Amino acid sequence: MKPFAALALVVIASSLALPSGGAAADERLPAAAKAWLEERRVVVFAGQEHYPPFEFIDERTGEYGGMAVELLRWIATEFGFTAVFRPMPFEEAQHAVLRGEADAMTGLFRSNERLLRFDFTEPAFNVPASIYARVGAEEPRSAAALRGRRVATQRGDYAIEYLAMMATEVEWVYADDFGDAIGLLASGEADAMIGDEQVMDYQLQARRLGERIRKTSAPLYVGVDCMAVAKGNVLLHAILNAGIARARKTGTLEMIYQKWTGQRLETQAAMARPTPATIAATVTAIAAVAAALLAKRRGGRLVAEATAALRGQADRLQAENEALAAANARLRVDLEERSRLEVEKRRIDAEAAARRVEELTRCAIAKALDSAGGDGDS
């Protein structure tokens, strides 16, 4: 065997031992979705101006960024289209998609009311929302404790739908975005606000308000943050779903989330789970509403029976939640152990592949030297 042939053997052996690159970027897309992208090439996203760390205009550079924007730019690169972003107030962004002025929203909590107007992708992020108040002022710890108070929020926020569902009447103090809502709370124009925790953490630190405003409750709910298209836009919906799935599978979604929050997605999801106290408070609030309705119809005896039944349900839900929390803790341990074993397996496989390449290389070189020696003798 000639020396260059031995070298070719080494290259072939290396290519067999080491992992190859990924498949084509659009492999999971339906044919109709690929055709739609080839025709359009540009997808317009309506996003929020001031919703860090998810999406926001950087005041220093004027550039639009954040974890949701970074995720969409990655998806656009993977599937070969151009993502154009139009930042605007949150409520206007929703209207822009519904009017056809934008193709999709960068992020929107899924809810029953919104499902009538939007189609939602698979979740990209979980966003727990809690009550915030000024330090030194009264600290509401449940949705029921907000009744009759001035509560700041951005227009179009899910918190409005949530408190309506909980039959909690408040005096809303509206702002265009979360930043302005925080300003209303800090100035005393509002008594409290329901804030998305990652956004509140970022804003309070950036604006140095951590000593003036603090969280006073466990999460009231966990927003399921998805991308959203107008009802019936099935092709773009399929493209975005495929992109989120690929980002999750490749670890890109985890990397982006850690970059912007310093937390793992699994850790954030575990932290976002409602506590037994939160569930109990929620059920108690529902019980109070039910009791008021029953009092108008049937009198005190039925109210007492209904309230007792609902309290029993709250106790059962609390017990079930505690059992679920324990099961989740065990699952996290199992996942961590599985992750450790997978890393160890990859290390062992890589070492075995390296040894195989080294062995093949030695054999090839030895054969090449033998062949060269034989040629010299003849």
Three-state SS string across 215-256, please? ECCCCCEEEEEEEEEECCCHHHHHHHHHHHHHHHHHCHHHHH
| pLDDT tens profile 38-75 | 999 999 999 999 999 999 999 999 999 999 999 999 99
Omega prior to 53 cis, within 30 of 0: yes
* Spatial separation of the C-alpha atoms in residues 231 and 80, rounded to whole Å: 24
| pLDDT tens profile 249-268 | 999 999 999 999 998 886 55
Q: How confident is the model at residue 317, as a pLDDT?
A: 62
Question: What's phi and psi for 375, nearest 5 deg?
Answer: -65, -35
The two domains 3-124+225-273 and 127-221 share their CATH topology (first three levels equal): yes
Under CATH, domain 127-221 is a member of which superfamily? Periplasmic binding protein-like II (3.40.190.10)
Helix (H, G, I), strand (E, B) or coil at 157: coil
| pLDDT tens profile 105-142 | 999 999 999 999 999 999 999 999 999 999 999 999 99
Mean pLDDT, the chain, rounded, equals 81
Q: How confident is the model at residue 362, as a pLDDT?
A: 77
Q: Is the whole model's pTM more than 0.95, yes or no?
A: no
Buried-state track 113-132, b at ≥16 Cβ within 10 A, e below 16: ebeeebbbbebbbbbbbbbb
Domain boundaries of the chain, sorted by first residue: 3-124+225-273, 127-221, 274-378
CATH number corresponding to 3-124+225-273: 3.40.190.10
Q: How confident is the model at residue 368, as a pLDDT?
A: 72
Written as six digits, the tokens of 14 are 């290396």
Written as six digits, the tokens of 111 are 């809810």
Q: How many CB atoms neighbour CB 207 within 10 A?
A: 14
User: What interhelical angle do 67-79 and 234-250 show, nearest 10?
Assistant: 100
Q: Which residues of the chain carry a pLDDT beneath 50?
A: 1-27, 271-275, 277-278, 281
What share of the chain has pLDDT > 70, as a percent?
67
